[in-house]
Amino acid sequence: MTTGITDTADTGPTAERPREIIIQALRTSGAALVQLASGLRTAVMALGVLVLAAVAAVTAPAGVGLLPALAVVRALHALADRERKRLARWGPEIVAPDPPPTALRAALADPTTRRELRWALRHGSLGFLLGLLGVWLPLAAFRDTLFPLVWPFVPPDTSSTSFGFGVAHTWPEALAVSLVGVGWIAVILGLTPGMARLQGRPGRTLLMAGPDTDLSLRVAELTATRAAALDAHATELRRIERSLHDGTQNRIVTVTVLLGAARRMVTRDPDRVDELLERAQSAAEQALAELRAVSRSILPPVLSDRGLAGALAGLAAECAVPCRTDVEAPERCAASVEATAYFVVAEALTNIAKHSKANWASVTLRVRGGRLRLRIEDDGRGGADEKGGSGLTGIRRRVAAYDGTLRLTSPAGGPTVLDVDLPCGTDVPEVAGRSTKLPCTTDELIATCE
pLDDT digits (tens, 9 = 90+) for 128-187: 999 999 999 999 899 888 888 877 777 776 666 776 666 777 778 888 888 888 888 999
Predicted confidence at residue 440, as pLDDT, reads 42
Residue-wise pLDDT for 53-107, tens only, equals 888 877 766 666 566 777 888 888 889 989 988 888 777 777 777 777 767 777 7
Q: How many CB atoms lie within 10 A of CB 112?
A: 23
Q: Report residue 272 CA to chain centroid gap.
A: 59
Provide, for the chain, the percentages of residues in helix, strand and coil under a 3-state DSSP scheme, each rounded to the nearest 5.
65, 10, 25
Nearest to 409 by CA among 384, 437, 435: 384
What are the backbone angles phi and psi of residue 292, rounded to the nearest 5°? -65, -40
User: At residue 389, does pLDDT exceed 60?
Assistant: no
Q: How confident is the model at residue 211 (pLDDT cuts 50, 70, 90)?
A: low
User: What is this structure's pTM?
Assistant: 0.50
CA distances from 46 to 158, 211, 216 (A): 36, 25, 29
The CA distance from 200 to 203, in Å, is 6
Residue-wise pLDDT for 308-356, tens only, equals 888 888 888 888 888 888 888 877 788 878 888 888 888 888 888 888 8
Q: Are 266 and 277 in contact (CB under 8 A)?
A: no
Predicted confidence at residue 7, as pLDDT, reads 43
The CA distance from 376 to 364, in Å, is 6
